[in-house]
Amino acid sequence: MSKPTFTKSALPQAAASVSSTPAAQVWQVGLIGFGCVGQGLYDILQQQPNASFAISRIVVKNPTKERILPAERFEFDVDALLADDSLDVLVEVIDDAEEAFRVVAEALRRGRRVVTANKAMLSRHLPKLVQLQREGRGTLLYEAAVCGSIPVIRTLDAYFGAEPLRRLTGILNGSSNYVLTRMGEQDSEYAPALAEAQAKGFAETDPSLDMGAFDPRSKAVLLAAHAYGTFLQPEQVLNLGIEGISAVDIAFATSQGQKIKVVAGLQRLPDGRVTVLVTPQFVGPESPLYTVDHEFNGVVIEADFAGEQFLRGRGAGGHPTGSAVLADLAALRQGYAYHYPKATAPAPEYASDLEVEIYLRTDEDRLVDVLDFSEISEEADEDEYVVGYVALENLVRHRDLLRKYGAFVVRTGRLRPISTAVAAALIEEESL
């Protein structure tokens, strides 16, 4: 895929294009979307009259929907907001990724300041949006798009901008984490734990994006851009979810003194390349992620010189996400723009020629054949599980099949270079 090109002089120029504002002046905000996040931001600003931001225009989609504010506060033409130069900043928090891209890209072309929370849109279009900022001198911040209230993007971009990172591991999706936690606490199966998460508002009616690890994959793509300067398309990243999990998997993990968490793992390999995986993983008590339970998110950053740091907080919900949007508004007032510092040098290459050690539970024998384990260390017929090494490219290629047959895969956390024999077999299959 095309990667934005950067020169060291171009990015500070983008940052400099937004000048800071005298503290007393209230910034006029154009709010696009008034759902969970939009209302969360609105409520936060209501509770903080001194926050120096006023929502002066609000655009929504449905003219007949009942609202918590009088009807005259709402309008329906987003292009009218884009054209309104009296607005100091636009906040895009709609649930339509393609329309969000159109709006955000157009705003940047017009040199506007924009805040978005839309990780699905960003993970597809980040290179273009970064390029537009360089050319159009607009500014885009999106802290809310990854882990809600946890300030991880700015931490990577600003604080760790100059320091190489060994690894970043995170629980980036509160819905699946809630389900996994409740299964562990109650010794229950997946369906009742999911139903409870939905009843409590921790999971969507259509849970597939969260439970299938599509949502944390989008976030991992954004983290890779800031942590390593590596721009990926979501499909490049292996994502495996928890729809196929059963109480026997939790019991297996418990018997090993571990929990199962959906972990996004971004890692620099010994040869300098980078890999990104988003799958269930066994997590032991030695990891800070072990105690990140229920709807919480957590991120562990391992930097070459600073060592390990751990951030934990609420990854979703109106107020936590609105809080991150407010933090971006405040940052924009101070003239802040992302620098993508790791992208100014040649970015590390993305590595997929690896073998991943997995636990696979399935009653479909042919999945074991299709994955073509290069080494099996444990096999239990009665519990229908296998532990061993599989080529990462095989997991990527067959992830839909694994999902279709309800298989459940957990990473052990061990990776190794692909063996020559496996690589040869993959090439052969590729050419069929």
Q: Which two tokens stand for residue 54?
A: 């006023």
- The phi and psi torsions of 249 (rounded to 5 degrees) equal -70, -40
CB 184 within 8 A of CB 250: yes
Rounded to a whole number of angstroms, the minimum distance from the CB of residue 59 to ligand NAP is 5
Q: Given the rule CB under 6 A, which residues bind ligand NAP?
A: 32-38, 59-62, 65, 78, 93-96, 99, 117-119, 144-145, 148, 316-317, 321
Rounded to a whole number of angstroms, the minimum distance from the CB of residue 62 to ligand NAP is 3
User: Of 34 and 389, which CB lies nearer to ligand NAP in the complex structure?
Assistant: 34
CA distances from 154 to 141, 228, 320, 419 (A): 9, 14, 16, 38
Output the CA torsion 191→193→197→203 (10° steps): -50
CA distance 33 to 35: 6
CB 211 within 8 A of CB 242: yes
User: Of 77 and 363, which CB lies nearer to ligand NAP in the complex structure?
Assistant: 77
Q: Which two tokens stand for residue 64?
A: 């007949």
CA distance 289 to 24: 42
CA distance 156 to 340: 9
CB 267 within 8 A of CB 167: yes
Q: Which two tokens stand for residue 362?
A: 């399935």
* Partners of 379 in the β-ladder: 386
Amino acid letter, 285: P
* Partners of 359 in the β-ladder: 387, 410
Query: Integer distance in angstroms from the first to the last C-alpha of the chain?
Result: 24
Residue nearest to ligand NAP (CB): 35
User: Of 94 and 108, which CB lies nearer to ligand NAP in the complex structure?
Assistant: 94
User: Of 37 and 152, which CB lies nearer to ligand NAP in the complex structure?
Assistant: 37
User: Of 77 and 271, which CB lies nearer to ligand NAP in the complex structure?
Assistant: 77
Rounded to a whole number of angstroms, the minimum distance from the CB of residue 77 to ligand NAP is 9
Residues 6+ apart with CB under 8 A from 262: 171, 172, 173, 176, 177, 180, 213, 216, 241, 242, 278, 279, 280, 281
User: Of 142 and 228, which CB lies nearer to ligand NAP in the complex structure?
Assistant: 142
Residues 6+ apart with CB under 8 A from 41: 31, 55, 91, 93, 322, 325, 326
CB 247 within 8 A of CB 188: yes
CA distance 384 to 243: 17
Q: How many residues does the chain have?
A: 432
Tokens 């709807």 map to which residue? 295
User: Of 133 and 173, which CB lies nearer to ligand NAP in the complex structure?
Assistant: 173
User: Of 76 and 195, which CB lies nearer to ligand NAP in the complex structure?
Assistant: 76
Rounded to a whole number of angstroms, the minimum distance from the CB of residue 251 to ligand NAP is 32
Residues noted as catalytic: 219
CB neighbours (10 Å) of residue 431?
6
